[in-house]
Amino acid sequence: MKLNRVSKIVLSLSIVGWLIIGFLIFNSVNVEAKDNIKTNIYKKLKLFNEVLFKVKENYVEEVDLEEMFDSAIEGMLDETDPHTNYFTPDEFKRFTTNTKGEFGGLGISIDKRGQYITVVAPIEGTPAYRMGILAGDKIIKVDGESIVGVDTDESIKLMRGEPGTNVVITIKRPGVKDELDFDIERDIIKIESIPYAFKLDNGIGYIRIRQFNSNTSKELRENLDELEEKGIRGLLIDLRFNPGGLLQEAINTVNEFIGKDKLVVFTKGRAKGTNREHFTRYNRQRTGYPVVVLINEGSASASEIFAGSMQDWDRGLVVGKTSFGKGSVQRLFPLSEGNGIKITTAKYYIHSGRCIHKDLNDQLLTDERVQNGDISKKEIDEMKDKAEKESKEKIYYTEKGRIVYGGGGITPDVEISQSRLNDLEIEMRRKNVFFDYSVKYLLDHEEIRKNFTVSNELVDNFLTYVEEDDIQYEQTTLDSSMIWIKNQIKSNIIGRKYGDEERYKISLDEDTQLQEAIALFDKYPSLELMFEYSQQISEETEENN
């Protein structure tokens, strides 16, 4: 068989790669197993070459060897985990290029899970957040064009654009039969680590940490100084939908509460240099008030390290729902010809010895039944329940001897659920009627005070406006949603007049998960009493099971 120039080059590279891999594997195992492994690897590499060139020479149509190699590499990495990825030169360049602090976009954190671009978390105050985009939503179309199977970078290109322009994204939402279209106007998206920090009317300090970037610990110190000067009797740190960020910043924020030279997190891996311990470095420690840390299923990575460390060192009560469970460490490696690879090299463990990583997530992300919708929600829930039960069997202890659980994610000391929006509320947010109505209202009403109240007459006017968007509802549904609707009208009008922070403060009134967390400070004014309460709940749960 006569080989052309390209085939000869590929064959040469293949043989060289074959020999190098064989040599590396041969030298990385014990003497007893070397011969068997060497023989098996040589056989598999020989088989790979045979398949490659049989297809190259005999397939009915001309094949692209480069694409075949890329596919072979990607197929090989499918046997690892969803976070180990191969990059072509263009993909690697985009991945390693720093993004600007602001851009014209929608305001969502996304990730590719299987064939679908999936919303990890919406960002408060952004167009996507206002219209009700939810974590877990699968984006299947952008302006009518399918993006199923399209990579993350290409999808981002389609969704970003000039501020003020519109884009229609089509969502496949778990539990909702029909596809949902969202016509969203792009806006400047500014990524702030701590967008909100203020003292609540009941004397509790509130700090929302959206992500851990290079400024987080500095912003936290400044906000804590201001809150402590105002006199707070407790502090609530909101980490819901925080996807993580910089490890060192998570350590530095924990430092503010537990002091110097405390072990926060350590990593374990096989490769040299992957087993490391990370300690706090600064002689700072805030005391004098209880701390409650609020998490949910969207809290991941660095936010889990923070929450788990506050729990391990008995410095904060963790409440909410079990966190996501992203506790693996990835490292980027440049390859020849501008290619690159991101490899999972280790896993995170916090002070108590718990591993943050939840293996079930990786299974769900790579399960074709899940990605293709061929598995029922009941089956997925059963898998999650089984994993949750197994995690409760892995017992660890905090510094003061309190029981905490391992097995992936951070299990809260006190579980608090969030109330769900009904169909009418979801539809109103999807069509952005509150934001649009607030714009219209302020054109006719310039004098709006902060103590503005929503009258029944104003609600009737709003509902007339809503009818123009063809939103249908039953009277019973409207009645059950009335308090929520009034709160949404008020928060949007006040927000347009006085800024996003004032809007956010009002919106917290209808945040049932947060309100239940805040109520703990009145019932249990010290951290010790909070811990006793969580222990009581744990014992009651065990008895009922």
Other CB atoms within 10 Å distance of the CB of residue 19: 12
Of 168, 175, 180, nearest in space to 127 by CA: 168
Give the model's pLDDT for residue 27.
Answer: 54
Which residue among 301, 303, 391, 507 is the active-site one?
301
Residues 6 or more apart whose Cβ sits within 8 Å of residue 161: 104, 105, 167, 186
Give the model's pLDDT for residue 305.
Answer: 97
Question: Which pLDDT tens digit goes with each residue over 3-17?
Answer: 444 444 444 445 445
* Backbone phi, psi, residue 511, to 5°: -90, 90
Render 386-439 in DSSP notation, one character per residue.
HHHHHHHTSEEE-TT--EEE-SSS---SEE-PPPPP-HHHHHHHHTTHHHHHHH
Give the model's pLDDT for residue 410.
Answer: 96
| CA angle (166, 167, 171) in 5-degree steps | 145
Instruction: Find where tokens 């970078």 sit.
Output: 153
Give the whole-angstrom CA distance, residue 164 versus residue 82.
Answer: 35
Say which DSSP state 71 is in. H
Give the whole-angstrom CA distance, residue 451 versus residue 461.
Answer: 20
Which residue among 56, 326, 490, 497 is the active-site one?
326
Which residue among 81, 137, 312, 362 is the active-site one?
312
Contact, 406 vs 349, CB < 8 A?
no
Length of the chain equals 545
Render 131-144 in DSSP notation, one character per residue.
TT--TT-EEEEETT
Give the model's pLDDT for residue 85.
Answer: 86
Which parts of the chain have pLDDT scores under 50? Answer: 1-13, 15-16, 18-20, 23, 26, 98-101
**490 catalytic residue (yes or no):** no
**359 catalytic residue (yes or no):** no
Gyration radius of the chain's alpha carbons: 27
- Six token digits for residue 154: 């290409």
Give the model's pLDDT for residue 5.
Answer: 42
Give the whole-angstrom CA distance, residue 202 versus residue 521.
Answer: 9
Contact, 150 vs 138, CB < 8 A?
no
Give the model's pLDDT for residue 13.
Answer: 47
Question: Which pLDDT tens digit goes with each residue over 279-329?
Answer: 999 998 999 999 999 999 999 999 999 999 999 999 999 999 999 999 998
- List, in sequence order, every beta strand (DSSP E) within 186-290: 187-190, 196-199, 204-208, 234-238, 263-269, 276-279
Give the model's pLDDT for residue 41.
Answer: 80
**301 catalytic residue (yes or no):** yes
